[in-house]
């Protein structure tokens, strides 16, 4: 389980670092430049170093830092870590995230008001640490998912996406097969038909509906972590974030051995070390660990 948890969190970081190269490109532009983009080489519109990660991983690490320092769910601690991160002048920050963190800075409120424009993927992209910390109790995960989401994003599509991504990561870690994961997407589509992805349009934007359609399309039409991630990032658009979300689910599902070593080796060393350490410590604080690791005596 601890290895799988690492794989989910590393999958997120690898997807972010790989996809950042093709963020905001079209599939045709990607094909013209790389044929198939399959290496962690940095670059992209942010001019990254190879292996450098962006806001998707950085905001996830901010959540993890807050939880590991409090050793309990600490929403104000997460908001504070977001603020520390925003003040560190990150290389990129989504406009909805910036507005939400500013709202917290100015008012101290831990929930941003409902906003029609909040259906971006910025809350769903940081679900990995939440899923690990609440592993073994889906109801608790749901509450944490929405609380952390509402720091910056308050929209039913974002909410639904966070819940589905959180469940998929947790169920993948607990050994679900692809049919069981697919069933979770059907629950989502039953409530929000716009997430339907059986006729994939090719839109991979930051609109969370497009984002999850892209992730699901490649997750369920491929047979390895590598194939899934290559499919997603060559779709362009918000490629680092579709990469991050696909990476956390596929990482948890396929496990550490299925993440190409050449990608892990390229990942920024400090980031990789913190991701691995957080994955272990978050799971050790989870309800799953209370039942399975410390259940003797």
Residue closer to Mn ion, measured from CB, 118 or 240: 240
* Pick 244 or 259: Cβ nearer Mn ion: 244
CB of 105: closest distance to Mn ion in angstroms?
21
- SS3 state of residue 43: strand
Smallest separation, CB 89 to Mn ion (Å): 15
For Mn ion, the closer CB: 23 or 159 = 23
Bridge partners of 207, per DSSP, are 120
Per the structure block, which two tokens stand in for 180?
A: 């069981």
Distance CA 264, CA 286 (A): 26
Select the residue interacting with Mn ion from 159, 210, 226, 240 (CB under 5 A).
240
Residue with the two structure tokens 């993890």: 64
Q: Residue with the closest Cβ to Mn ion?
A: 54
User: How many CB atoms lie under 10 A from the CB of residue 228?
Assistant: 28
Q: What is residue 49's DSSP assignment?
A: P
In the complex, the smallest distance separating the C-beta of residue 132 from Mn ion, rounded to whole angstroms, is 20
What is the rounded distance in angstroms from the CA atom of residue 275 to the CA atom of residue 15?
13
Q: How far apart are the first and last CA of the chain?
A: 21
Regarding 164 and contact with Mn ion (CB under 5 A), the answer is no
Decide whether 160 or 245 has the Cβ nearer to Mn ion.
245
How many Å apart are CA 169 and CA 164, to the nearest integer?
Answer: 9
Q: Using CA atoms, how far apart are residues 177 and 208, in angstroms rounded to an integer? A: 24
| Dihedral over alpha carbons 52, 65, 138, 288 (to 10 degrees) | 110
Task: Give the per-residue contact string, 27-66, with Mn ion (x = CB under 5 A; - = no).
Answer: ---------------------------xxx----------
Residue with Cβ nearer Mn ion (84 or 91):
91
Q: What minimum distance in Å lies between the beta carbon of 70 and Mn ion?
A: 26
Beta bridge partners of 48: 43
Per-residue string for binding with Mn ion, 83-112, x by CB under 5 A? ------------------------------
Return the number of the residue (1 or 41) whose C-beta is nearest Mn ion: 41
**In the complex, minimum distance from the CB of residue 57 to Mn ion, in angstroms, rounded to a whole number:** 8
Q: How far is the CB of 8 from Mn ion (least distance, A)?
A: 18
Contacts with Mn ion by CB under 5 A: the residue count is: 6
CB of 63 or CB of 135, closer to Mn ion:
63
Backbone angles phi and psi of 114, in degrees to 5: -50, 135
Other residues' Cβ atoms within 10 Å of the Cβ of residue 95? 11
Can you give the binding site for Mn ion, defined by CB under 5 A?
54-56, 238, 240-241
């Amino acid at each position: 389980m601890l290895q799988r948890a690492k794989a989910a969190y590393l999958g997120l970081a690898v997807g972010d670092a790989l996809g950042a190269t093709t963020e905001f490109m079209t599939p045709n532009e990607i094909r013209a430049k790389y044929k198939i983009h399959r290496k962690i080489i940095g670059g992209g519109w942010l001019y990254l170093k190879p292996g450098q990660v962006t806001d998707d991983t950085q905001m996830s690490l901010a959540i993890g830092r807050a939880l590991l320092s409090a050793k309990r769910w600490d929403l104000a601690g997460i908001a504070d870590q977001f603020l520390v991160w925003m003040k560190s002048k990150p290389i990129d920050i989504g406009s909805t995230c910036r507005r939400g963190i500013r709202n917290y800075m100015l008012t101290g409120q831990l929930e941003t008001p409902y906003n029609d424009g909040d259906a971006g993927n910025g809350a769903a992209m940081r679900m990995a640490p939440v899923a690990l910390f609440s592993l073994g109790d889906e109801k608790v995960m749901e509450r944490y998912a929405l609380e952390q989401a509402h720091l910056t994003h308050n929209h039913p599509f974002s909410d639904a996406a966070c819940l589905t991504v959180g469940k998929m990561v947790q169920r993948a870690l607990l050994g679900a097969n692809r049919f069981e994961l697919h069933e979770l997407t059907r629950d989502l589509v039953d409530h929000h038909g716009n997430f339907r992805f059986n006729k994939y349009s090719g839109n991979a934007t930051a609109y969370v509906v497009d984002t999850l359609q892209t992730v699901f399309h490649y997750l369920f039409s491929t047979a390895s972590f590598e194939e899934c991630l290559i499919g997603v990032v060559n779709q362009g658009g918000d490629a680092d974030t579709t990469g991050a979300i696909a990476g956390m689910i596929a990482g948890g599902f396929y496990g550490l051995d299925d993440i190409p070593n050449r990608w892990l080796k390229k990942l920024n060393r400090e980031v990789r070390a913190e991701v691995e350490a957080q994955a272990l410590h978050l799971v050790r604080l989870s309800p799953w660990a209370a039942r399975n690791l410390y259940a003797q005596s």
